[in-house]
Structure 1
Amino acid sequence: MPDVTDTVDRLVRLRSDRDPTSFAVIDPHTRIIYRELDTATMEMAAAFVEAGVSKGTRVGLIMPNSVLWVQIAVALTRIGAVLVPLSTLLAPPELAAQLRTASVRVLISVPEFRGHRYLDDLEPHRATLPALRKVWTAEEAVAAPVSARAARLVDALADAVTPSDLFVIMFTSGSSGPPKGVMHSHGNALAAVRSGLDARCITPDTRLYLPMPFFWVGGFGSGVLSALLAGATLVTEEIPQPDTTLRLLERERVTLFRGWPDQAQTLARQCDSIGADLSALQPGSLEALLPPHDRSTPGARATLFGMTEAFGPYCGYRADTDMPRSAWGSCGRPFDGMHVRITDTEAADPVAAGVIGEIQLRGPHVMRGICRRSREEVFTVDGWYPTGDLGHLDDDGFLFYHGRSDDMFKVSGATVYPSEVEQALRAIDGVAGAFVTEVSGAVGAVVISRRPVDQLREGARKRLSAFKIPTVWLLVDDDDAIPRKATGKVDIRALRNLLTSSGEQT
């Protein structure tokens, strides 16, 4: 019997039947229950059909997190259109490049957000976008008139969507190079998200908050689709800020806070001064926001690990449960539907347990491909995807991450893995974050801390071999000082430049 949640349309219909009055998505201004999500998105879908959108039409969406973002995304994908979420951080040339790479035919955008006027800024680039035929504001898209014929077509189009149909193109910059348009089908994306629900502790009773934007797989997969698959409630906002976020968590009685540890630590530092009641948060949330008795020993819980090409986390362990002692510091085990092997970085042959090499992925949850690249360019001859990440598997199948193959470097002939140094620095009391790279043949570190460098160096000496201890340091007050790309990943080149210009040599 086919899975009734193997396309977005079937999933929304299921939720409407089983959980009609449960809240699906909440933002500070709007809330919608599952029955309303079903009816509203079918009405929107009819408007899109009237405008010429149909199965296979690639539609770009650029707007901040909101109930409306979810409604538009669901409406488009129910009828088989291909969603192309676009970062609200993109500069005009970057936006044009991604529209061109994905052959976007229709663009839906907010007129302005945080100083970006996307449609105005895009106008000089329109001549380079031959596939782009229609540009809408979000308000125009949802208010478009609908004929009786379009309304009749919606159900037929939704019924024609299959699990193997292209569902979404998500952009990831990787660590270097131009942006990649990663293609996922309905079946592989939904199955990938479903495989990690238990590890992320998401159930029908969950009220989930993620600060991640929906245009990243962390926000779309681990947020929007996780809530839909579990029948949970997703709580979101346009611009996370400590005071408004803490009040939102309190007001909506959020039970699960997932996201980046740095964000949770920032909120935790201001929680007492703001006076927010976060007692509804349950184990499985990022631990900085939990009371001390609900926190684990550092390293005992898995750090969920994934990538856009795997549609989010492909490896983990229940976020409220300690792993076996031998697995502490690991990312957990690969989820069902994902096979992982480690290969030699030069010979590309599989290596034994315990040996560091490149992580390669294969299985039904892996992406279908990358825009404008042949299958031979993306996968090995035996069907594995070389991730460029470094790691090792232990004898029990737990995966330990060691950074990017293009980030590792040598100091006096010895290999340094930035992630290993970062992990050691973050274990030092008073360190809220650490980011490591090579600086002219030396180990450089940008550290979020108010402790002096000599104390940090002494803490590193207790945890690292001498050649791994940073000799170029830069202390910053918060995460805002860390240079990031439009995808949210740390910009290593900019980080290196920052250390070169402002770092302290020791």
Structure 2
Amino acid sequence: MVPNWIIQRASLTPNRIALRFQDKSWTYQELNEQSLLIAKQLVSLGIMRGDRIALYASSTAELIFMIGGCMHLQCEMVMLNLRLSKTELAYQIEDARVSAILAEDSLVDKLPSSDTRIYAFTDIFASEGKGFSPSSEWNESDTMTIMYTSGTTGFPKGVRQTVGNHLSSATSSLYNTGLLKEEAWLCTVPLFHISGFSMFCKCILHGVELVLYTKFDAKKVADQLVEGSVTRMSVVSVTLARIIEELENRGERASERFQTMLAGGGPVPIDYLERAAELGIEIAQTYGMTETASQTTTLSSEDAMRKIGSAGKPLFFNQISIEGVSKPFEEGEILIRGPHVTPGYIGRFKEKSALQEGWLHSGDIGYLDDEGYLFVVDRRADLIISGGENIYPAEIENALISHPAVREAGVCGVEDEKWGQVPYGFVVTKGNIDEEDLLIYCKEHLAGYKVPKRIFIVKDLPRNGANKLLRRELPKLI
């Protein structure tokens, strides 16, 4: 058993700022009061302690309070991705068998037709509330959140993330980064994604401030980095690139008070790491997934420049292994073990074990170097096999992104009669460049069999709610 996080934090540091959103702020005492009020309102609408409910909302203060109310009720929260189609939402709602959906008013019409009760936020806020006393303790094995995988290899799986999973993740992260006075996490990633939700958990457990954005805004982020009003944030390659460009265009650097950017969602191009360092931004590459309640490994600050390209070592409670290898630098599937790993799935995959002989099979390819640092090569599902040669899309993407006229790049395999598969590239440009010039550039930086057969210049690349590249969608752009 562990203390109710919200009650405990409000007791320990009631007057410390918990949340900033737009031009308003709330203390931990106020967060607790707002969350308790919503719990009572949900009870009056028929939501019971321990119910499984779905949340469908953008990242706002209202969603934070709604999450807090559900936490007081110890509900299992299914976090619905705002980028899903009605068909995809219908699958998850049915698969999870939620008893109700709590939805932001402006998004209600985007939900599919369903027999499931839907409560708009304004209806919840308008209800009178009913007597309710939250438990002072939570069971670590209780499911707190459920998030669906992207379904790259079939139907999306509903991943259980327990109180203990989130607690282990936040604690390991703290052991890695330490804690500053007046710490403030800048959250521009959606709360329905594990990266965003885990940031919220860290802030409650560490007693620090969450600065919440509904959408990523490079100009506003750059303002906060320069003025030093935040100390840490999480990014993926595409958002990191936009921050770097904004600061470079201004000729400004991040404040010394800013500590770290945690970069996840796939390998970060070395060019980005080096340019960020020149701007006073320390990038700590991380590796994690939905099944691990966010981070599994993180590159510590003292190794940031010595091990460029590495995702670091496992956090304190975690373990990493590479399947089927006998020595350093050999590539294989990344296996994960630790208290942050999901106990299993729900719905269609309820009977599927998350572990094999105690290890989670990640589906990612990587290797450990001779000092035990993890390097993530690519997704196994995205691997391109061309004429018997293994080609990792990330390697080609890194080469393309290093061209000064390329803003974003994505690579996927396309069937080929002669070679089985060949790589195709897709780029978003920021200058005058054509396919022929890019192909010449690739030939100068890549082995012949890795050079894309075609490179398409496109307006946007397909991404999920956390701005992670969806390579499986790239062929639709041809």
> Secondary structure, in 3 states, of the residue corresponding to 1:330?
coil
Give 1:443's aligned residue: 423
What is aligned with 1:294?
280
Q: How does 1:4-403 map to 2 (within 5 A)?
A: 6=2, 9=4, 11-112=5-106, 117-118=107-108, 120-122=109-111, 125-127=113-115, 132=116, 134-147=117-130, 150-151=131-132, 154-155=133-134, 158-159=135-136, 161-199=138-176, 203-221=180-198, 223-243=199-219, 245-246=221-222, 253-270=229-246, 279=255, 282-285=258-261, 292=278, 294-295=280-281, 302-318=284-300, 320-323=301-304, 325=306, 327-344=307-324, 351-372=326-347, 377-403=352-378
For 1:192 and 1:111, the matched residues in 2 are separated by 32
The answer as to whether partners of 2:299 and 2:310 remain within 8 angstroms in 1 is no
**What amino acid sits opposite 1:178 in the alignment?**
F
Q: Counterpart in 2 of 1:492? A: 471
Q: Distance in 2 between matches of 1:176 and 1:218?
A: 22
| Code of the aligned partner of 1:471 | K
User: Hey, what does 2:391 align to over in structure 1?
Assistant: 416
Summarize deviations over 1:296-333 as a string: whole Å, max 9, x none. 6xxxx542111010011111122x433474x4321101
Amino acid at match of 1:263: T
Residue type at the aligned position of 1:141: I
Q: Which residue of 1 aligns with 2:455?
A: 473
Shift of 1:428: 4.3
Unaligned runs of 5+ in 2: 263-272, 416-420
SS where residue 148 of structure 2 aligns? strand
- SS in structure 2 at match of 1:391: strand
Spell out, residue by residue over 1:364-395, the C-alpha distance to the aligned partner (whole angstroms, 9 max, x if none): 11012111256763335412221211111223
Q: Which of 333-342 and 484-493 deviates more?
A: 484-493
Q: 2:277, 2:95 → 1: CA distance? A: 46
Alignment identity in percent?
A: 25
In structure 1, give the amino acid aligned to 2:193.
W
Q: CA, structure 1 residues 104+351, in 2 after alignment: closer, same or farther (shift >3 Å)?
A: farther
Q: Please report the RMSD computed on the Cα atoms of aligned residues, expressed in angstroms.
A: 3.0
Aligned residue-pair number: 461
- Compared with structure 1, are the counterparts of its residues 246 and 379 closer, same or farther at alpha carbon in structure 2 (3 Å cutoff)? closer
- Contact 2:157–2:349 (8 Å) recurs in 1: no
- The code of the aligned residue for 1:292 comes to E
Q: Shift in Å at residue 252 of structure 1?
A: 8.5
Q: Which amino acid aligns with 2:189?
A: M
Note the C-alpha offset of 1:240: 3.0
Paired residue secondary structure (1:126): coil
Residue deviations 1:67-107 (CA, integer Å, cap 9, x gap): 11111112211221111111222222222211111111111
Once residues 137 and 285 of structure 2 are traced to their aligned partners in structure 1, the CA distance between those partners, rounded to angstroms, is 39
CA distance in 1, matches of 2:48, 2:410: 45
**C-alpha spacing 1:242/1:21, structure 2 compared with 1 (3 Å):** same
For 1:290 and 1:317, locate their aligned partners in 2 and report how far apart those are by CA, in whole Å. 15
The Cα offsets for residues 144-166 of structure 1, whole Å up to 9 and x where unpaired, read as 2123xx23xx23xx235311111
Contact 1:265 1:288 in 2 (8 A): no
Distance in structure 1 (CA, Å) of the matches to 2:462 and 2:357: 37
Distance in 2 between residues matched to 1:267 and 1:295, nearest whole Å? 10
Change in Cα spacing, 1:469 to 1:451, as seen in structure 2 (3 Å) is: farther
1:49–1:288 Cα change, 3 Å: farther
Q: Which moved more, 1:305-314 or 1:408-417?
A: 408-417
* Partner amino acid, structure 1, of 2:241: Q
Q: Shift of residue 38 of structure 1?
A: 1.6
Q: Does 1:406 align with 2:381?
A: yes
Q: Cα distance, 1:121 vs. partner?
A: 4.4
CA 343–226 in structure 1, closer or farther in 2 if over 3 Å, else same: same
Q: 2 CA distance for matches of 1:243 and 1:397? A: 38
Cα distance per residue 1:23-65 (max 9 Å; x no partner): 1111114321111112221222222233332332011111111
Q: CA deviation at 1:216?
A: 0.4
Q: Deviations over 1:106-147 (max 9, x none)?
A: 1110121xxxx43x3446x224xxxx3x32111222332123
Kindly indicate which of the two structures has a greater share of residues assigned to strand.
Answer: 2
- Judged with a 3 Å threshold, the aligned counterparts in structure 2 of structure 1 residues 252 and 37 are, in CA distance, closer, same or farther, namely farther
- Please tell me whether the aligned partners of residues 236 and 468 of structure 2 are also in contact (alpha carbons under 8 angstroms): no
